[in-house]
């Protein structure tokens, strides 16, 4: 019994180390670029729906103004978000363009692409 417990604990430790190594290997995007990406995602959604863009432009403009990234990086992020098409399944026929704004910060592929902008 003791051998099985030690074996199980060993497997658990190896598995944990492998997962920690995988997470460490994933590049971490700049937090201000991620905030801009989320706000910009809503901008594209609002524009698609024909909503007033005044407030969302002010928000994204404020993020750019206060951020330390270059204007070119913000432009790259805006294009990245505009072209971002995740594979999402919805329960209630929710608009994917809206849902992706809530999911992009959890999408490893998007985060890798965003980290490459830096």
pLDDT tens-digit map of 53-95: 999 999 999 999 999 999 999 999 999 999 998 887 777 778 8
* pLDDT tens-digit readout, 15-41: 444 444 445 455 666 789 999 999 999
Does the global pTM surpass 0.85? no
Structure tokens at 92: 């209630």
Q: Which residues of 59-86 are buried (b: 16+ CB within 10 A; e: fewer)?
A: bbeebbeebebeeebbebbbebbeebee
CATH of 29-117, one of 2.60.40, 1.10.3470, 1.20.120, 1.10.287: 1.20.120
């Amino acid at each position: 019994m003791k051998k099985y417990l030690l074996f199980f604990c060993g497997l658990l430790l190896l598995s944990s180390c492998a997962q920690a190594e995988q997470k460490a290997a994933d590049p971490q995007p700049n937090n201000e670029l991620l905030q801009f990406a989320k706000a910009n995602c809503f901008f594209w959604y609002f524009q698609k729906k024909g909503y007033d863009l005044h407030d969302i432009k002010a928000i994204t403009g404020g993020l750019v103004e206060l951020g330390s990234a270059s204007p070119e990086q913000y432009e790259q992020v805006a294009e990245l978000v505009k072209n971002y098409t995740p594979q999402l399944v919805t329960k209630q026929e929710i608009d994917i363009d809206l849902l992706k704004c809530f999911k992009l910060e959890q999408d490893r592929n998007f985060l890798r692409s965003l980290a490459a902008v830096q």
